[in-house]
Amino acid sequence: MALTQRIGTWILGTGGLNLKLVKYEDRPDKDQWKDGPIYRIKDVFSVMAGSWELTPGVKYSIDEWARSEYWQGAKWSSTGDHNFHIMVLDANSNPLMGKGIMFRQNDWQWEPKNVYQSSLKGDADVYLFNSYAPMRGELGSWIGTTVGKADALAGVDMPLNEHVTVFCVLQASEEIDVPDPDPDPDPTGDLAGVVTAINGLAAQVKRLADHFGAA
């Protein structure tokens, strides 16, 4: 069964944080990750100035569904007020302790130092310290995902230096991973059979030529 994805009010577009949800299939580094289930982005939302109180209309503030689902932040090991958090769940929505969570700035060239081990609550985070202007179409510098075949969230940072925290939840999907087709299938099939058929056709052509030549 496909996951139901929930995206916070302020996540997408230049009127919000202008973040990019990158599917595993579209990642430039996807060939590095071949084994295990596919982790899909389930939830993404933001919190303004560390507040989990509902403040409708206030830019980057928490959505009601996220506040309720994540117990006003209690489901996370920490929250902070200018952080990028990722949580990883198994297919049954249980947090995965010790799962590798990756954060990197500016590119997809992962190194060991970019990998953080998830907490007892299945999460890890990094501090945000760069400013960007999403309203001008700019993207932040941070990319986050989990080790393996997974969607990623890109473009995270502090909009005009405002203290915004971004939360992303990845969950193992039960979808079937269809393998890529054989990139170099054998175009000849049964080569011996093909050769025999060609020789048979050549013999028929010769007999016809001899017949009409004699006539």
Q: Is residue 198 part of a domain?
A: no
- The mean pLDDT values, 10 residues at a time, for the chain of 215 residues are 89 98 97 94 97 94 96 90 97 97 98 97 97 98 98 98 98 74 51 59 56 50
Return the pLDDT at 198: 59
C-alpha–C-alpha distance, residues 207 and 16, integer Å: 79
Give the domain extent around 43: 6-172
Name the token pair of 38.
Answer: 């596919």
DSSP assignment of the chain: -PPPPEE-TTSSSTTTT--EEE-GGG-TTGGG--SSPPEEEEEEEEEETT--S--TTSTTPPPHHHHHHTGGGTTSS---SSEEEEEEE-TTS-B-TT-EEEEEESSS---GGGEEE--TTSEEEEE---EE-GGGT---SEEEEESSSB-EEEEESEETT--EEEEEEEEE-----PPPPPSS--TTSSHHHHHHHHHHHHHHHHHHHHHHHH-
b/e string for 55-68 if b means 16 or more Cβ within 10 A?
A: eeeeebbbbeebbe
Q: Is residue 117 part of a domain?
A: yes
Q: What pTM, to 2 d.p., does this model score?
A: 0.82
Tell me, letter by letter, the H, E, C secondary structure of 128-176.
CCCEECHHHCCCCCEEEEECCCECEEEEECEECCCCEEEEEEEEECCCC
Return the pLDDT at 72: 85
Q: Is residue 59 part of a domain?
A: yes
Q: Is residue 131 part of a domain?
A: yes
For residue 130, the domain's CATH number is: 2.60.40.10
Q: Is residue 74 part of a domain?
A: yes
Q: Is residue 119 part of a domain?
A: yes
Overall number of domains in the chain: 1
Return the pLDDT at 119: 97
Return the pLDDT at 3: 83
Q: Is residue 188 part of a domain?
A: no
Return the pLDDT at 195: 54
Return the pLDDT at 208: 47
Q: Is residue 209 part of a domain?
A: no
